[in-house]
Amino acid sequence: MYYSQCIRKLFLVGVFLLPSFVWGQVSGTVSDAADRQVLQGVTLQWEGTTSGTVTDGKGFFSLVRNAKHHRLLVRYAGYRTDTVIIHSDTSLALRLHALSTNLKKVSVRGRRKASFSKMSSLQQTEVITTEGLRGLACCNLGESFENSATVDVGYADAVSGSRQIQMLGLTGVYSLMLLENVPFLRGLSTPFGLGYVPGQWMEGISVSKGVATVKNGYEAITGTINLEYEKPLKGDRFTLNLYENSDLKSELTAKLNHRINEHLATGLYLFGTYDTRRTDHIGHDGFADYPLQRQFNILNRWDYEGHGGFHSQSLVNYTHEKRLGGEMDFEESMRGNDSIYGFGGTTNRLFFSTKNGIPLNSTSSFGSQVSASWFRQEAYYGLSNYSGEEGDLYVNLLVNAEVSGGHIVDYGVSLRYRHVDNLLHLLPTDTSQLAIFNYKHKEMIPGAFGQYTFRYGDDFNATAGLRYDYNSFHRRHLLTPRLHFRWHIGNQLVLRGVAGRGFRTPDYIAENIGLLASGRRFKANSPLALEEAWNAGANLTKKWKLADERELTVAIDYYHTRFVSQTVVDLDQSAYEVLFYGLDGKSYSNVLQADINIEPFDGFSVSAAGKVNDVWCAYNGTLMRKPYTSFWKALMVLSYHTRFEKWRFDLTTQLNGPQRLPLNKGEMQGDAPAYLYMLGQVTRRFKHFELYAGVENITGHVQQHPIIGADAPFSQAFDASVIYAPLMGRLFYIGFRMNVL
Amino acid sequence: MKKTVIILIISIAFLSGNAFAQKKNTKTAEIAIPGYCCKGLNKTIENTLAYERGVVEWTLNPEKKSVTVVFRDGKTTADKIEKALAENGVRTANHKPNPRAIEKLPACCQPAAKGESGNCKH
């Protein structure tokens, strides 16, 4: 007979007491409430006395009971101070809640849920867990948001395969992509960047909506996406993933983790993808549906957790990618030929980051983040050639300190140096004149920030932050105020609010590189000014506990973004031109979203979401909807697993609302219709490995003619940048995953 | 109709025969889990046994800190099952747990799994 007892949800339990047989003594362990890792160096002190102790490397403590004082204070830097009242000899398993996630990792391992919204975080945060990623084919980051209504992913054009995200109805450049809290994909890496993150390297993704706190710079206007890669101290010794799809695309992921000693561990992660076949199922226009893609990606990381709470995480990542697309018969050697249209691109990217943290005393800690990246891309779209190079160096030093009354102060300084060199030889048609755009700039951005977190018990916290930066390129002094609050009204009902300002340097060529796949001429007023916007929003989340530890969560949120200055990409004045100019008039976005998550019975979960995007911008004095932004979106995710997760079934249904198309030369004008997109996967788990098989785009709905003027690619009639529906037909895949603990 | 009934009877006989055969070949072992701390460990134990070849059924005995496992003789042994538990971080009488797997146990179960006593009293 099977004997099963429901496992108590330990996450939300602050303290629980267990009887003890030792007299006159209190002992126990202290661990993190979120990831259950034991905490070393936690101070335990009888309130009003000087007697106390500190936990050892295993999170243990034991101390003699005090006859007069019964209140035991439990303190640890970066965590909320807890008080335990003790009247008898006990053994305790204490859990502390992290105050900020800046120096702390958000670990989602062990939580058997595909995604969940955090109740305790300051900002509205949705976490996509390893479990959630396992239910998707997740070749790369671009495919990891299929079950999230917050992040939309779309294609930039029909030849390069580049995908871009949208958050709060605005392109991904206005949000900030972090890797373990260090800025990761920004600047020139943005257009193809989602492809540089292998899905199998990640152990979780946190998506936070609205302006971020001031700690990570003046960007992150619409939100932050924080990626967590596997940690060598905790990860499995060896993991292997093989994937093959019906278009003969092969992928391999291998992860090796080695623990050198109890403090030091290293990880080596590899990823490779190889396409062997081009297909022309869509449009039958002589153009490949998807470019041939070859990628090699390697990452080496080192984690050190020393005595006294010192910890260090360093990683280096190299990505090499080659793409080849365009007409089916095009080969690389035909580049520059004006009788056959081809697309090609080579990218090399090197990224290094190191994070170090040390407690200064029992209530404060110091952290440093240093990152450096080098990026080089060469691409050609027909006769146009583009090359972009970028170097980025970033140093951020932070102090986190608890002041009297449990309030928190964070302050720090940062310096960013960025050098960009874009060279575009634009020849959209074989009869047009060659236009050369050389956009170079160097930015030096020194800055300082301070932030105060006011706390009232566990139920209310508010953070007010201000940062000052100087941007040497734009020669501007920038003040960035940001405000956040979280109020637990009671009974698992949480209200959150956020407001703040943000800035960003636009890279208009790289960010709109998909437009090179068209006969449009570029016209730019340069230099383009720094972009500036205000963002504000509110969120209400309510959680109900159902029987058998199941939960029902309902969340509703609304965010507003308003631009003060913006680089407008105007496709509506002419179908033969794209104009870049500074905003003159209004530009704003309003986004309303509602989410429901429920587990009707053990093993089965349903999440449904609906979203309305209302995004407008003034184009040459006329207020119009922003093109390629769905007016609304509906999403339903069904997930079922049998006992012990031997079988797992996932089905996602997305209904993408209509979107406005810009003026173009094709048949489809005005608003493009809504469409349905479905994907599903079955996973079977065995003792040491698992097999999965799935279908992407189950209904097979695709854009019928993604390339306008495909028969004359070097004329003005050509345009492969008008994309409003999926570009991949029904796709089957199978995979194999194994791990050695 | 007759045929169907006959087939049904035969299949029932076959199935029950199978069940008898199963009972004949099964063994029962009580595996001690000295590192058993609280029900936080149940999931790890059950998830291990569920994927073990030859394991027919089991009963957890939290008070006795043990698990009673019924398994098919010839397909597995009590020692193999113990080994599998240890591989997933559960300390048994004869096998030391895999240190990497211990890290994945709930924090309250980790000290006991490492063989450190005195902090998990039930």
> Does A575 reside within a domain?
yes
Domain boundary among A96, A128, A157: A96
Domains of chain B, by residue range, sit at 26-113
What DSSP assignment string belongs to A283-334? TTSSB-SS-EEEEEEEEEEEEEE-GGG-EEEEEEEEEEEEEEEEBTT--GGG
pLDDT of res. A583: 93
User: Residues A280, A247, A253, CA angle at the centre, nearest 5°?
Assistant: 140
Q: Which of B42, B52, B101 sits opposite A741 (nearest CB)?
A: B101
Are A37 and B107 inside 8 Å of each other by CB?
A: yes
Distances (CA, A) of A529 to A508, A583, A615: 11, 10, 22
For residue B40, what is the nearest residue in chain A, using CA coordinates?
A: A7
Domain of residue A332, CATH code: 2.40.170.20
Residues A166 and A32 in one domain: no
Contacts of A22 in chain B (CB under 8 A): 118
Q: Is A199 exposed, middle or buried (0-12, 13-18, 19+ CB in 10 A)?
A: buried
A386-433 pLDDT tens trace: 999 999 999 999 999 989 888 999 999 999 999 999 999 999 888 888
Confidence of residue B2 (pLDDT cuts 50, 70, 90): low
Q: Which of A645, A734, A725 is nearest to A677 (CA)?
A: A725
Mean pLDDT for B13-24 is: 49
A342 vs A1, residue with greater confidence: A342
- Assess A36–B contact: CB distance below 8 Å, yes or no: yes
Provide the CA A195 distance to its chain's centre, in angstroms.
13
> Does A110 reside within a domain?
no
Asked if residue A255 lies in contact with residue A234, where contact means CB atoms within 8 angstroms, the answer is no
Rg of chain A (C-alpha set): 26
Residues A599 and A735 in one domain: yes
Residues A598 and A571 in one domain: yes
pLDDT of res. A47: 75
pLDDT of res. A240: 96
Asked if residue A267 lies in contact with residue A255, where contact means CB atoms within 8 angstroms, the answer is yes
Q: Which of B39, B88, B121 sits opposite A20 (nearest CB)?
A: B121
Rounded Cα distance between B104 and A479, Å, is 44
Domain boundary among A38, A68, A96: A96
Residue A598 predicted with pLDDT over 90: yes
Question: What does the H/E/C string look like for A328-390?
Answer: CCCCHHHCCCCCCCEEEEEEEEEEEEEEEEEEEECCEEEEEEEEEEEEEEEEEECCEEEEEEE
Rounded Cα distance between B81 and B69, Å, is 9
Q: Domain range for residue A576?
A: 115-740
> What letter represents residue A73's amino acid?
L
Nearest chain B Cα distance for residue A38, angstroms: 7
pLDDT of res. B37: 78
Q: Which of A91, A109, A233 sits opposite B121 (nearest CB)?
A: A91
| Sequence-distant (≥ 6) Cβ neighbours of residue A556 within 8 angstroms | A539, A540, A592, A593, A594, A595
> Does A101 reside within a domain?
no
A548-591 pLDDT tens trace: 778 899 999 999 999 999 999 999 999 999 999 999 999 999 99
Residues A359 and A240 in one domain: yes
Domain of residue A47, CATH code: 2.60.40.1120
Question: Helices (H), strands (E): how many in chain A?
Answer: 3, 45
**Cis peptide leading into A662, omega within 30 of 0?**
no
Mean pLDDT for A128-157 is: 86
Strand partners, A366: A358, A399
What DSSP assignment string belongs to A497-518? EEEEEEEE---HHHHTGGGGSB
Q: Which of B108, B68, B105, B107 is nearest to B88 (CA)?
A: B105
Residue A191 φ then ψ, to 5°:
-60, -40
- Number of domains within chain A: 2
> Does A606 reside within a domain?
yes
Nearest chain A Cα distance for residue B86, angstroms: 11
pLDDT of res. A34: 61
A86-99 pLDDT tens trace: 777 667 778 777 65
Contacts of A31 in chain B (CB under 8 A): 107-108
Residues A27 and A134 in one domain: no
pLDDT of res. A654: 96
Number of A/B CB contacts below 8 angstroms equals 84
> H or E stretch including A60?
strand A60-64
Distances (CA, A) of A522 to A504, A570, A669, A677, A722: 22, 10, 21, 33, 16
Are B51 and A4 inside 8 Å of each other by CB?
A: no
Residue A203 predicted with pLDDT over 70: yes
Of A122-126, A500-504, A568-572, the one with minimum mean pLDDT is A122-126
> Does A1 reside within a domain?
no
Asked if residue A358 lies in contact with residue A399, where contact means CB atoms within 8 angstroms, the answer is no
For residue B61, what is the nearest residue in chain A, using CA coordinates?
A: A3
Residue B8 predicted with pLDDT over 60: no
- Assess A261–B contact: CB distance below 8 Å, yes or no: no
By three-state DSSP, how is residue A405 classified?
Answer: helix
Asked if residue A220 lies in contact with residue A207, where contact means CB atoms within 8 angstroms, the answer is no
Are B106 and A27 inside 8 Å of each other by CB?
A: no
> In this structure, which topology does domain B26-113 adopt according to CATH?
Alpha-Beta Plaits (3.30.70)
Tokens 């963002």 correspond to what residue? A535
| Sequence-distant (≥ 6) Cβ neighbours of residue A333 within 8 angstroms | none
> Does A6 reside within a domain?
no
Residues A573 and A675 in one domain: yes
Q: So what's the ipTM on this one? A: 0.77
Confidence of residue A59 (pLDDT cuts 50, 70, 90): confident
Nearest chain B Cα distance for residue A267, angstroms: 14
Residue A267 φ then ψ, to 5°:
-135, 140
Write out residues 519-538 of A within 8 Å (CB-CB) of B. none
Mean pLDDT over each residue of chain A, to the nearest integer: 88
Contacts of B88 in chain A (CB under 8 A): 741
Q: Which of B61, B91, B55 is nearest to B75 (CA)?
A: B55
> Does A8 reside within a domain?
no
B4 vs A458, residue with greater confidence: A458
pLDDT of res. A116: 81
Are A741 and B107 inside 8 Å of each other by CB?
A: no
Residues A132 and A84 in one domain: no
> Does A730 reside within a domain?
yes
Q: Which of B57, B100, B106 sits opposite A237 (nearest CB)?
A: B100
Residue A451 predicted with pLDDT over 60: yes
Residue B113 predicted with pLDDT over 50: yes
Domain boundary among A65, A96, A127: A96
pLDDT of res. A562: 97
Residues A316 and A197 in one domain: yes
**CB environment B53-72: b (16+ within 10 A), e (fewer):** ebbbebebbbeebbbbbbbe
Of A56-65, A331-340, A578-587, the one with minimum mean pLDDT is A56-65
Residue A48 predicted with pLDDT over 60: yes
Provide the CA A673 distance to its chain's centre, in angstroms.
28
Residue A516 predicted with pLDDT over 80: yes
A674-683 pLDDT tens trace: 999 999 999 9
